[in-house]
Every structure is written in C-alpha cells, then in structure tokens.
Structure 1
Amino acid sequence: MIKSQNHTSGISITMFTTLVAIYFSVVINVPFYKDLQSIFSSLEEVKTGFVISIPLFLFFSLNIVFSLFSWPKLTKPFFIVLVLLSSIVCYAEYNYGVMFDVDMITNIVETDTGEARAYLSFYALIWVLAIGVTPAIFMMRCTIQPAGKMWLPLLRDKLISITVSLIALAIIFVFYYQDYASVGRNNSYLRKLIIPTQYVYSISGYVKERFFSAPIPYVKLGDDAKQSELAIDQSLDKPSVFIFVVGETARTQNYQANGYDRETNPYTALKNVISFNDVSSCGTATAISVPCMFSNLSHHTFDRDIADHQDNLLDILKRAGIDVLWKENDGGDKGVAKNVRYIEIDRHRKDEFCNGSTCYDMALVEGMNKDIDEMKGNRVIFLHLIGSHGPTYFQRYPKDMAYFQPDCARSDIENCEKENIINSYDNTIRYTDYVLSNVIETLKEKNDQYNTAMMYVSDHGESLGENGVYLHGLPYRFAPDYQKKVPLMVWLSDGFKQAKSINASCLREKAMETGHYSHDNIFHSLLGVMDIETRVYQPDNDIFSSCRMQ
C-alpha cells in the first residue's frame, strides 16, 4: 500500500494521510460496496456518474477525518492500530453481515474467550494478514518527514488538503445530491457499514456509557414481594419446581413445532409441550436480550445501564422466598444472576459432555436431581444453554446426534454450502430438543415430591446466509425476523396445573395467537405463575394469567 522511502526525507504526513484514505476507501470498505451492489441490482436505473462518485465521496470524507488525527509522533501508531482493527471489522462485515453499533460492541466486550475462539479460522487469519497486517508492516517501514519546528507548512498542507476535499464533496453533492439522498433514506443502515467511522463511533459511545456517564442510583424493585398464602401452604406439602431454560441463538423458523418441515423437535413432540408460534426477542444479541427478558423494562424502554442498576426477576423471586439457582453453560449470565446461587459448568473438564474447551448442554442436566433436592421450599432453576451458538454449530452436538447430513464442520461457515450450514444448525436445534426432553423426564421423576414445570425461550435468533447475512447482532430495526423471532415452549405436569389452576387447553389456544408475545412477557409470567404478590407484577403481560381458573 505505502512504499518505504529510500531517501531520508520520506513522505509528508499529508501524503501519508492521503494514501491511507485511498486504502480505506478502496479496500477496507469492500463490505460497504458489496451491499451497494446488492441495492443497485434491484433498481431499474442507476447513473454511472453516481456510482463512480461513491468511492470518491468516501475518499474525500475519510481524508478530512484522517487529517484531524495525523500529527507528528501520532500518525504511525494511530493508523497502524486503525488498519489492524479495521481489517477484523471488514472480515466480519463482509462475511457475516455484522454491523458494529454500541450493542454489538457491548456483546463483543462481554464475550468470553471460549466464545471468541469459535470465530477463529484459517480463512479469517489469511483475511486479516492480507488487508491488515501487511499494510501495517508497510506503514511501520515507511519514512515520514519529521516536522521539526516547521509547523506552519504542516498546517498549510493540511488546510489545503481539507479544503480541496471539501470542494470535491461540494461538487459531488451538486451533481448527485438527490441520488445520495434517495439511496440513503431508503437504506439508512448503509452508514453503519462504513469503516472505520461507525465502529469507532460505537466504541466511543460504549466507553462513554460505561465509564463517563453520571452514576445511576440503584433502584430496589418489588420490595413488597411475597408468595401467596396458598403457594406457601402448598410448599409445605408439595413444593413447586419451575425450570426456566434460556436458549441461545435458536430461531423459531427452524422449529418443527412451529411449522418447519424438518424433524427438529422429535423429542419434545412426545412430551405434550405447548409451543408458542410467534414470540419476539428483546434484542438480537445475548448482552441485550438476557438482561432485558429478566427486567421489568420492555423492549421499547430497555436500557442496559438502567437494568444493571435495578432489581430483576431473579432478585424479586429471591426476596419473595423462592429458592433460586442459575446454572451456566454459555459463558456468562450478563449480570442477571449476580445475587443468587450460581453454578458454571467447567468447560475445561474432559468427559462425555465436555472436550476441554466447550461442553454440550446435557452437562446442565447432569446432577439436576441433586440440585432440586438440595433446595428448599418453592424453587426456580435457570439453565443457560450454549444451544445453537455459532459459527461453530458443529461443536454444539455430539457426532452421534448429527442427524442432518452433510453438516458444516468448520467455523468459517461462509465457505460451506448453505445446505450444510442449515444441516448443522438444525442439528443444534434437534440436540436442544433432546436436552429439553431430558429436563422434562427429570422433572417427571420428581412428580411424587414436587409440582413441576418447564419453560424454554431463546435469547435471539440467527441468520443462516439469507440475503448474505450470517449469525446475529444486527441493529434491531434492520435485523430480519430470523434474528428476532424465537421459540417459546412450556411443559406443565398435572400436579403443577392443578396447584396453579392452569387450563392447558386455554394456554394451547393462546400459544397459536400472533403479534402478542415477546420477551416482555417473561418477567410477569414467572412472577404470576410462582404466585408472587407485588405491585410491579402486571397480569396483562402474564401468559398464564388469562388461563388460570380463579
């Protein structure tokens, strides 16, 4: 990209900045051009001059921005780091359709090392070496003219460069403003693909929110929470045990129980499970959806900072005297279980469920009999699955559970055939179904001692290459339904239905309704079904409420 100079004078900072701007506008922003090409192919007519002007628009814009950061002693280290980070962002955007907004930065920061390793591949390494490390080496070897005491010439050159760029942008706008306005209005997500401005802006936003925002006072919710007298009386004779399973990356479109034409739910199909057909997630990434579903905030009002500084569902259940346990197999609870008993599966162990780096979700079911018996009174156990977490779908199920073949046994799924990717993903859904059936069987074995029930809901969905998009985490308003529609299943023992006066036929009818259910219902449904009396409970948001015979 930038050639090392043989003479001692080197190139000027202004020239260095110009060359970097050219590289970013032509090479690093290839994901932006990829989406533009898709947009243009759907239009009846596109002006050739407008198309040619786009890389020029990017160059002149980036040249102005980069000029503000190119100063003696700062230029090289700043742009070396920038190009290395940008090469990673470029890879993720181009191959997976990822957009780096503040929520995505939050998700990245809260991703543990085990999850991060799943994204590593030889293909990714070659990509970053080619467009990140190689130009970074050229930058290091490049000789830049020392400014010395000649600040006026440097400022003059910068002013000229910025002025020329501004004039060029003005000319482009004179000729093609309507075209830019039309494409921009109809495809506002495009600005989120521009590298490096979007991800740098998002990182700064994350840092500001996390470290420089005014302290938020902690708010105690449900301080009046208590179990109903009936629930307490029942716990003395036959306590209730509710298993809440938090799924990972499961989308409802691939659930046989919701109309999918493949056998992805053969195990729970035999368990009289009630499946809700149309449920929306709160977010498109775990870092948002998990805190949101256990918060009393809705999808439209959710703010992670606020949620982190107030009581959530688990806190209120505990305050009401419910014995609460969280079991973790997905790298973290995102702060929701900080005040309750917590067990994390040791992924470093090596046995039938774990290989030293990751564990199958059956490891959560292991020892569940003991977990239940060691608790007291009415009890709720949360199981956080690794579920269908990609891109290494093939690591989420044992080889003898690879029902759909051929599958995609690699992390760079973009290099697999789409059918193979879907096979791998469907295998994860099928394996999760197997895990849920084992949870149900464990609860059935406890029916003489406890009134038992299970609810399962995924945190968000997943894209499997539709319109060139993979994985998840797109900004909610741009994300397809594949990332926002999630499965929700309920299983109730006869004892639980009787103790809670739940009409299962009514609930099954409710489950067929569309446009009514989302993660917003979780908080109030668990408070309701566990008979917690508190002013923060809203019966209208409780999926069981209208089907309980008073």
Structure 2
Amino acid sequence: MKTTEFLNRGISYVTFTLLLALYFAIVVNIPIYKELVNIFLSLDQVKIGFIITIPIFFFAALNFLFNLFSWPWISKPFFILLLITSGMVSYASYNYGILFDTGMITNIVETDTSEASSYLSAYSVIWTLIMGVVPALLVFKVKLKPIGGKWLRFTFTKVLSMLASLAIIAVIAGLYYQDYASVGRNNSYLKKIIIPTQYVYSLSSYIKENYLTTPEPYREIGTDAKQSQLALEQAKKKPTLLVFVLGETARTQNYQTNGYNRETNPYTNMLDVISFKDVSSCGTATAVSVPCMFSQLPHRDFDRSKADNQDNAIDIMQRAGIDFLWKENDGGDKGVAHKINKIEVDRKQENEFCNGETCYDIALLDKLDDQIADMKGNRVVALHLIGSHGPTYFQRYPKDKAFFQPDCSRADIENCSVEQIVNSYDNTIRYTDFVLAQTIAKLKTLEYKYNTAMIYVSDHGESLGENGMFLHGMPYGLAPDFQKRVPMMLWMSPGFKQAKHINTDCLAQEAQQTATHSHDNVFHSLLGIMDVETNAYDGKLDIFKTCRAS
C-alpha cells in the first residue's frame, strides 16, 4: 500500500501512538545509543540479549507515556511540536554531547538571537528537517480515525496498549534487571540523554520555577555598605579605576600562563600580570556562572531564583557610592546589572569591529576613555566579552589574528577535525589576550588620573572533543574539569598597588595555590579591593586581604 493511501485511509489512535513510540525509540534516540556503544566497548562482557532489549524497552516505555497525550484535538499539535523540538535536541545531543537539564533550558531561554544564530548551519538545518520537520508533516497529514461515540472502546484499547507496554517492561526487568541497574548506577547521566522525557521534564521544571511559583520577596543585603574613609579621601585626589573583564567560555587548560604548551598569551606575558592557576567556576553556563559570581551565595548553596531576588556585589558597591558602568558584548548581563548604567555594543552595525551579526571584543574599548571620564569618584567598569563562545569560534577573532592553522571556519564544528576546532579555540584565547593587553595599555595612559587595575575571569570553560564532548553546559556534577576550570588574571598599576597597600610577591604566591580559588571569591574580593565596609563582606574569601598591609 502506498504511503499516501495509508495516510488517507486513516489509522487508529493506538496505532498512531505505537508508530510514534517506535520512531522515537529507534531513530530520535540515536544519541543514547551512541553513548551506550562507548560504554559497552569499555566493558569486558555484555549480554547480547540485554543489548537487544534496550530499544524494545524504550519503545514500550514511550508507548505508555505517549498514550497519555494521544487524545482527539490534542494529539497532532502536541506531537508535531514534540517531533520538531526533539529533532533539535537530537542534533545537539548527538553532535555535541549536550544534556538538556533545567540549567541548559535556562541558558537556551536567555540566549539572544545573535548567539542562537551561531548554532545554525546547513548540517543542523538538514538534521532537524529530516529528524523532526518531515515526520511532523506526516503527522499533520495523517488521518486519524474518528472515535464517534465509541469512547468506551477507545479508552479500552488505549489502556490495553498501555498494559501491554507495562507487561513488556516487566518481562525485560525480570530477565535483565541486574544489567539495567548496573549500567544505570554506573552511568547515571544516561537518563538525561533520553528523548523526549528529559528535556520535557526540564522545560516543565523551568516553567514551574519561573512562572508558576511565587518569587521570593526581594532581599536587600549590605544595607550598611559604605566606602572606608581612606578610600573616600583618595577619591578626591586620585580615584580608583578598576576594570573587571568578564570572559566567556575560556578554560584554564588552554592558557599558556597556566602551563599550556602553545603561545596563547603572548600579549600579556610581558605585562606583569598575575595568573591564578586553579580557579573553579560556579557553573558550566553563563546563565548560572554570571549571577553566581556576583552573588553572596556560595556555589554549594546557589539558587538562581534566590540570587535574582537579592542584592549582589554590584548593588552593594553602588550603594556605597562607587560609580559602576557595564559594557556588554555577549548578549546580556543575566540580570546582575539591572540597577546600573549599561552600554551594549550594537552588533547590527558594520564597521572594523562588527559584521552586522557579531562584534569583536575590541569594540568594548571604543570611547571607553570618555565614558570613564563621565563617571564620578571611585569607579568600576565591567567589560563582558563574547570571548571564546562557540560553536562559531572563527567569528571571535579577525583573520589577521588567526595564528593557529588550519582553523575551523564554519558553525557546524562537528564537520571539522578536532585539530581545527582546537586551533580555532586557541585563536579565540589568543585574541582575548590581545584585548586584555589593549585594556591594560589604555589603563596605563590613564594612570596620571586614576589608580588603575584590571581583573579578568571567565564564566566557565569548554569541551573540545574530549570523550566525544563539545561546547559546555553539562550538569555540574557530571561536567569534566574542562568546563569547570577557568582563568583568572590580575594587573595593577604602581599607583593602585601603593594606594591599596598590596604586597605583590605575596599575591603572586597566593595565585600559585591549588584548589583554593573559585567564583565564590569574586563577590568578597570586589568589595574588599574597593574598600567597601559592610557586614556582607567575608574577608576569608577576599583574595587580596592577606596580601594587604593594614
């Protein structure tokens, strides 16, 4: 029978659901089969019967679940949407090893259009069309047999199909429970790869937390904040100017100053920069790490909804009378700069810095002198870089800065070699180093007016093909160190060191310590170095405190 005849003749809801469950079990879930192959290859022995039952188990489980949503009027819209989104999820999971937990959903929702477009490629579009859109069109076209008044019969056949699914699951459990339990316990992340259950659950959790839950009352902290008398007196003579550079997707393992065997830091190497060797990020995605590092909440207690509803380090510094400016080139401050002056680089312009879609980070330094001059007293400027954000690494640096070759000049990095991907990524690190050196050069020209310093820290790291994983955003407990170890660098002018009474040798030695620094230090170090006195400050987490003369 031809497909068109089959579609026009019509099928029952039970058959419709069975076919969808079969398609999802066999085709859409290829990411988990890819992962299972790697697991099985690492084991000494695997039962053939156990392997054969896995797609049968998925088919039975999905058939049971899909029957819950296979009803007149809602079946087609629901499964059309499910197929299209599942096609996208399948692409990201299979090619990049991405897991769609609640944190990843948050990151997706907060991604701007420019960043989202960087994931588009001919390959991703074709994958989504074949995997999701074409099946969705078939669902749209298929004719479902009307129920008429036979609701009892309809319900009976649906329940019978669901009971049959449970019976299949029970038989499989009876035969291979120990095998499933063993693989599941040793690889607990596998459940996060199953499509569509994981991403649908994560999406529903996100909606519940953000739209169906009453937010906590806003909590002001550090209400007693004020600058020290010495800081206020110095501001009248020679104000402090701290530039806080917030990086994007830079991992410490690819920093020459931290032991990497490639020249990724040639510009800052000769600039008396202190590099902190071992710094842990708070998250593996911008949506978590940026709010976390500015929050008083430590990583172990961090909750985004709670952090969004209380003052952060920026709010407290502003309350103390410090003038703060945020310059943005990464699609958003994630709510941390909601009360201060913000300037966003216009990525729609076309000039030496921008191509109409994205801008090089050097654009953040444009007109910075005038913007600093418009500020008052002691001041902090935050520069939010797009840094090493993938997969379009090649768009983060101009062609004359493509030092490592051959690089990957395309968005679908899965079609580049790992060597090309690493070269492109290292070019982004090297270009960020160039931007940092230019920032320092600018601060040096302003030393006659201000006591200047620069702190650089990245929000999270990146996977570059290790264990078949790319990009970032893995659940923190499962993420490799490549996504959780970030660079942190510090430069200080002579005037800044003198005004803040900093022992440089002490601080350089402090930077060599391992497993002692993290994003938890940012909140307290900013308050400390800007001499903000408040009960919200904890000196034990201030990286400067032990190296400052009282």
Q: Which residue of 1 aligns with 2:111?
A: 111
1:104-143 equivalence runs, <5 A: 104-143=104-143
* CA deviation after TM superposition for structure 1 residue 422, in Å: 0.5
Does the aligned pair in 2 maintain the 1:5–1:143 contact within 8 Å?
no
SS at match of 2:299: coil
Moved more, 239-248 or 370-379: 370-379
Does the aligned pair in 1 maintain the 2:452–2:492 contact within 8 Å?
yes
Q: Which residue of 2 aligns with 1:86?
A: 86
* CA deviation after TM superposition for structure 1 residue 97, in Å: 0.5
Taking the aligned partners of 1:8 and 1:56, their CA distance within structure 2 comes to 29
Taking the aligned partners of 1:215 and 1:407, their CA distance within structure 2 comes to 46
Q: Which residue of 2 aligns with 1:201?
A: 201
Q: Which residue of 2 aligns with 1:380?
A: 380
SS at match of 1:268: coil
SS at match of 1:99: coil
Q: Does 1:146 align with 2:146?
A: yes
Taking the aligned partners of 1:146 and 1:122, their CA distance within structure 2 comes to 40
Q: Does 1:215 align with 2:220?
A: no
Q: Which residue of 2 aligns with 1:180?
A: 180
Does the aligned pair in 1 maintain the 2:215–2:305 contact within 8 Å?
no
1:388-427 equivalence runs, <5 A: 388-427=388-427
Taking the aligned partners of 1:22 and 1:8, their CA distance within structure 2 comes to 21
SS at match of 1:300: helix
Q: 1:91 to 1:6 in 2, by over 3 A?
A: closer
Does the aligned pair in 2 maintain the 1:282–1:288 contact within 8 Å?
yes
Deviations 1:463-500 (A, max 9, x none): 11111111000000010001000000000111101101
Does the aligned pair in 1 maintain the 2:7–2:141 contact within 8 Å?
no
Give the letter aligned to residue 483 of structure 1.
Q
Q: Which residue of 2 aligns with 1:474?
A: 474
Taking the aligned partners of 2:441 and 2:372, their CA distance within structure 1 comes to 14
Q: Which residue of 2 aligns with 1:95?
A: 95
SS at match of 1:369: helix
Give the letter aligned to residue 387 of structure 1.
G
Taking the aligned partners of 1:103 and 1:169, their CA distance within structure 2 comes to 31
Give the letter aligned to residue 528 of structure 2.
G
Q: Which residue of 2 aligns with 1:170?
A: 170
Give the letter aligned to residue 167 of structure 1.
A
Taking the aligned partners of 2:81 and 2:294, their CA distance within structure 1 comes to 38
Q: Which residue of 2 aligns with 1:501?
A: 501
Does the aligned pair in 2 maintain the 1:3–1:138 contact within 8 Å?
no
1:332-371 equivalence runs, <5 A: 332-371=332-371
Give the letter aligned to residue 500 of structure 1.
K
Q: Which residue of 2 aligns with 1:231?
A: 231
Deviations 1:333-369 (A, max 9, x none): 0000010010001111111111111100000011111
Taking the aligned partners of 1:494 and 1:302, their CA distance within structure 2 comes to 36
SS at match of 2:486: coil
SS at match of 1:270: coil
Give the letter aligned to residue 174 of structure 2.
V
Report sequence identity in percent.
61
Taking the aligned partners of 1:292 and 1:497, their CA distance within structure 2 comes to 28
Taking the aligned partners of 1:74 and 1:236, their CA distance within structure 2 comes to 68
SS at match of 2:342: strand
Q: Which residue of 1 aligns with 2:26?
A: 26
Deviations 1:306-352 (A, max 9, x none): 11111111100000000000000000000000100100011111111
Taking the aligned partners of 1:8 and 1:339, their CA distance within structure 2 comes to 59
Q: Which residue of 1 aligns with 2:243?
A: 243
- What TM-score do the two structures reach when normalised by structure 1? 0.99
Deviations 1:5-28 (A, max 9, x none): 458652110000000000000000
Give the letter aligned to residue 107 of structure 1.
N
Q: Which residue of 2 aligns with 1:259?
A: 259
* CA deviation after TM superposition for structure 1 residue 37, in Å: 0.6
* CA deviation after TM superposition for structure 1 residue 3, in Å: 3.9
Does the aligned pair in 2 maintain the 1:4–1:143 contact within 8 Å?
no
Give the letter aligned to residue 206 of structure 2.
Y
Q: Does 1:69 align with 2:75?
A: no
- What TM-score do the two structures reach when normalised by structure 2? 0.99
Q: Does 1:323 align with 2:352?
A: no
Q: Does 1:17 align with 2:17?
A: yes
SS at match of 2:301: coil
Q: 1:320 to 1:162 in 2, by over 3 A?
A: same
Does the aligned pair in 2 maintain the 1:3–1:142 contact within 8 Å?
no
* CA deviation after TM superposition for structure 1 residue 80, in Å: 1.1
Q: 1:8 to 1:332 in 2, by over 3 A?
A: closer
Taking the aligned partners of 1:372 and 1:141, their CA distance within structure 2 comes to 61
* CA deviation after TM superposition for structure 1 residue 215, in Å: 2.6
Taking the aligned partners of 1:338 and 1:487, their CA distance within structure 2 comes to 26
* CA deviation after TM superposition for structure 1 residue 214, in Å: 2.0
Taking the aligned partners of 2:168 and 2:6, their CA distance within structure 1 comes to 33
Q: Which residue of 2 aligns with 1:295?
A: 295
Q: Which residue of 1 aligns with 2:445?
A: 445
Q: Which residue of 2 aligns with 1:52?
A: 52
SS at match of 1:514: coil
Does the aligned pair in 2 maintain the 1:281–1:459 contact within 8 Å?
yes
Q: Does 1:486 align with 2:460?
A: no
Taking the aligned partners of 1:257 and 1:65, their CA distance within structure 2 comes to 52
Give the letter aligned to residue 235 of structure 2.
S
Taking the aligned partners of 1:137 and 1:7, their CA distance within structure 2 comes to 11
* CA deviation after TM superposition for structure 1 residue 514, in Å: 0.7
* CA deviation after TM superposition for structure 1 residue 297, in Å: 0.5
Does the aligned pair in 2 maintain the 1:5–1:142 contact within 8 Å?
no
Give the letter aligned to residue 417 of structure 2.
E
Taking the aligned partners of 2:244 and 2:345, their CA distance within structure 1 comes to 17
Taking the aligned partners of 1:252 and 1:384, their CA distance within structure 2 comes to 18
* CA deviation after TM superposition for structure 1 residue 126, in Å: 0.8
Give the letter aligned to residue 405 of structure 1.
Q
Give the letter aligned to residue 38 of structure 1.
N
Deviations 1:484-535 (A, max 9, x none): 0000000011110110111111111111111110000000000000000000
Give the letter aligned to residue 301 of structure 2.
T
* CA deviation after TM superposition for structure 1 residue 134, in Å: 1.4
Gaps of 5+ in 2: none
Taking the aligned partners of 1:164 and 1:214, their CA distance within structure 2 comes to 41
Does the aligned pair in 1 maintain the 2:246–2:384 contact within 8 Å?
yes
Q: Which residue of 2 aligns with 1:539?
A: 539
Q: 1:199 to 1:6 in 2, by over 3 A?
A: closer
SS at match of 1:131: helix
Taking the aligned partners of 2:149 and 2:108, their CA distance within structure 1 comes to 43
Give the letter aligned to residue 439 of structure 1.
T
Does the aligned pair in 2 maintain the 1:4–1:141 contact within 8 Å?
no
